[in-house]
Amino acid sequence: MIAFLWKGIVRDRSRSLFPVLIVTIGVMLTVFLHAYIHGAITMLIQTTAHFNTGHVRVMTKAYAKEADQIPNDLALLGTDTLLSSLQKQFPELSWTPRIRFGGLLDVPDKNGETRAQSPVFGFAVDMKNGNSPEWNMLNIKNSVIRGTVPAKRGDILIADGLATALQIVPGETITLIGSTMNGSMSVTNFTIAGTVRFGVSAMDRGTIIADLSDIQAAMDMQNGSGEILGFFRDDVYHMDQADRITKAFNAQHEHSIDEFVPVMGTLRTQSGMADYLDLIDAYSGVIIGIFVFAMSIVLWNTGLTGSLRRYGEIGVRIAIGEEKGHVYRSMLVESVFVGIIGSSFGTMFGLAIAYYVQEHGINIGEMMKNNSMMMSNVIRARITSFTYIIGFLPGLLATLLGTAISGIGIYKRQTAQLFKELET
């Protein structure tokens, strides 16, 4: 019977072509949107980790309470000792100190007078260590647009957009006006080694990158840092493992009342990421639900149309003694075949589109101009093993629901009326 139904679907295109097309289109959109949303989430997590929180972050208890305000007066001291301890306790992560700071960038003219000024936000990272994870996390070498990476003391990198706005080029000297760890004014001269563009609007508007030792000297933070970031060596955020590491570290200082005791937090628990990621996961399920519902309505209407066209066929089958339940079940089996065919083609086309977007990306830079989130301007899809099968859920479920609803009419057929219908 199954072979007979299969031949009927393949040979009678008027019976299956339109439903297969509907399922193909719906599944294609489902597969692509899943890959696109998953890619956007992955890039958001990756960018947030690289430029903001790391996969885990160690700060003082007092600093953690006001981390968004960058309170460097509450920063970690004795960074070398703490860093060494972290590397021994948790070797599965790469650890690196970092200082976030703000200030006023002053550009002098040839007479030493102020030519231009701009507020800036900066990172102090360990660039003198060739094995520092910062080279990969910030992708420094590949982000340099003009000039070179810092090679000597006092060299910095500046966002290319900011350099263009201030009309400065590599080789010029600029002055950073800020404050020290102790609250006094800090005025330090730097040389622009190069300009960078990270592809993240929040970073490219007014960011400078300096070596950790230079900023430590400028801010009176010898052997100190605002935070120590930990990155998993495969650069993938493992939530459960990060939670275990965080709990193990914080348990060491659980009963301390010292506000400068180090504490650790995970990427998910910082910067509102937990609520944001949960919201995205919820919307992913809603999108799939909407497709299943919409496709079921369309396939229901298609099934009703098909039932009208096959009115005589169904009548003959009932008239010759075939049970209504058997007719109904055979139509459900047909719908499964239609779902499998449509889902297979839809998955194939959806994966093709997703692969193109994964390789080339979609530039949303115009939408991100005033955005403060640490998110890349180029969004790429991400194909996972689940992407290969997710389309079969709405594809099969929608066809079954559509046929199940439209096929109820079979049970309303009156056998006594069949002969009059067949005579006409």
pLDDT, tens only, 203-262:
777 889 999 999 999 999 988 999 999 999 988 888 889 999 999 999 988 888 888 999
Q: Residue 322: pLDDT above 70?
A: no
User: pLDDT per residue over 138-160, tens digit each?
Assistant: 888 888 999 998 888 999 999 98
Q: Mention every residue, 6+ apart, whose C-beta is less than 8 A from residue 188.
A: 175, 176, 178, 214, 217, 218
177 has pLDDT over 70: yes
What pLDDT does 250 receive? 92
DSSP 382: -
Question: Residue 33's pLDDT band (boundaries 50, 70, 90)?
Answer: confident
Residue 116 or residue 302, greater confidence: 116
Q: How confident is the model at residue 92 (pLDDT cuts 50, 70, 90)?
A: very high
Res 363: pLDDT = 74
Residue 38 has pLDDT above 90, yes or no: no
Measuring CA to CA, how many Å separate 260 from each of 105, 225, 230, 252, 390? 30, 13, 19, 14, 48
CA distances from 265 to 49, 57, 82 (A): 12, 5, 16
Q: How many CB atoms lie within 10 A of CB 231?
A: 21
pLDDT tens-digit series, residues 369-390: 555 555 666 788 889 888 888 8
Structure tokens at 128: 């003198």
Q: Is the pLDDT assigned to residue 393 strictly greater than 60?
A: yes
What integer is the mean pLDDT of 347-371? Answer: 80
**Higher pLDDT, residue 356 or 289:** 356
CA angle 300, 392, 389 (to 5 degrees): 165
Quote the pLDDT of residue 284. 65
Predicted confidence band of residue 87 (pLDDT cuts 50, 70, 90): very high
CA-CA distance, 78 to 243, in Å (whole number)?
25
Give me the pLDDT at residue 400, please.
Answer: 77
Q: What is the pLDDT of residue 333?
A: 79
Q: Is a pLDDT exceeding 70 seen at residue 314? A: no
The mean pLDDT value of the chain amounts to: 81
Domain boundaries, the chain: 2-47+275-423, 55-263
Percent of the chain at pLDDT exceeding 90: 30
By the 8 A CB rule, do 400 and 339 touch? yes
Average pLDDT over residues 72-99: 92
pTM given for the model: 0.76
Which range, 299-308, 376-385, 414-423, has the best average confidence (pLDDT)?
376-385
Give pLDDT, residue 373. Answer: 57
